[in-house]
C-alpha cells in the first residue's frame, strides 16, 4: 500500500501553476530533501544525500501554494510518492512526484503570517 508520507526540504524552483482541461487548479515546485547523518569524527550532524521530487498540489491547496510558496523556503510536505518511468524515442525517462495533500512552511527556519481561507473541515 502507498500511504501518506512526510517529506521535509527546501523549495528549489519557482512555483508553476496551471489549470487542467477539466478546470482543476494545479501548482508544482521542485523539492530538495537532504538526509542528515551524525559524523562521529567531528561529533556533528552533516549533510548527506539529497533526494529531488516534483511536488504537485491541486484545487484549494494549489491556489494557496501559488500565493504563498517562494523559491528558497523550507517546507513540510505530506502526500503520496509516485515514481514513474516511460520510454520515448528510445530513451527511458523517470520522475519522482509527490501528490501533496498538505504543504506548510517550516517554522523551524522562519516565521509566517497565515490567513485561513477555508472553513470546511479541520
Residue numbers at the binding site for a copy of itself (CB under 8 A):
1-6, 8-10, 32-36, 38, 40, 43, 47-49, 51-53, 57, 60-61, 63-65, 67-70, 72-76, 78, 80-85, 91-92, 94, 96, 101-118, 121-122
User: Between 6 and 19, whose beta carbon lies closer to a copy of itself?
Assistant: 6
Shortest Cβ 10–a copy of itself spacing (Å): 5
d(CA 84, CA 30): 16
Residue of 53, 49, 48 whose CA lies nearest to 31: 53
Nearest 5 degrees, angle CA 82-CA 62-CA 97?
A: 15
In the complex, minimum distance from the CB of residue 13 to a copy of itself, in angstroms, rounded to a whole number: 15
Grid cell listed for 92: 527511458
Amino acid at each position: 500500500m502507498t500511504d501518506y508520507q512526510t517529506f521535509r526540504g527546501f523549495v528549489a524552483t519557482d512555483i508553476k501553476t496551471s489549470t487542467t482541461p477539466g478546470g482543476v487548479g494545479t501548482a508544482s515546485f521542485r523539492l530538495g530533501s537532504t538526509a542528515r547523518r551524525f559524523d562521529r569524527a567531528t561529533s556533528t550532524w552533516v549533510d548527506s544525500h539529497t533526494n529531488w521530487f516534483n511536488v504537485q498540489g491541486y484545487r484549494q491547496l494549489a491556489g494557496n501554494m501559488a500565493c504563498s510558496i517562494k523559491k528558497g523556503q523550507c517546507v513540510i510536505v505530506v502526500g503520496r510518492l509516485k515514481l514513474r518511468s516511460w520510454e520515448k524515442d528510445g530513451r527511458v525517462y523517470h520522475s519522482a512526484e509527490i501528490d501533496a495533500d498538505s504543504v506548510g512552511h517550516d517554522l523551524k527556519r522562519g516565521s509566517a503570517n497565515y490567513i485561513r481561507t477555508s472553513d470546511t473541515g479541520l
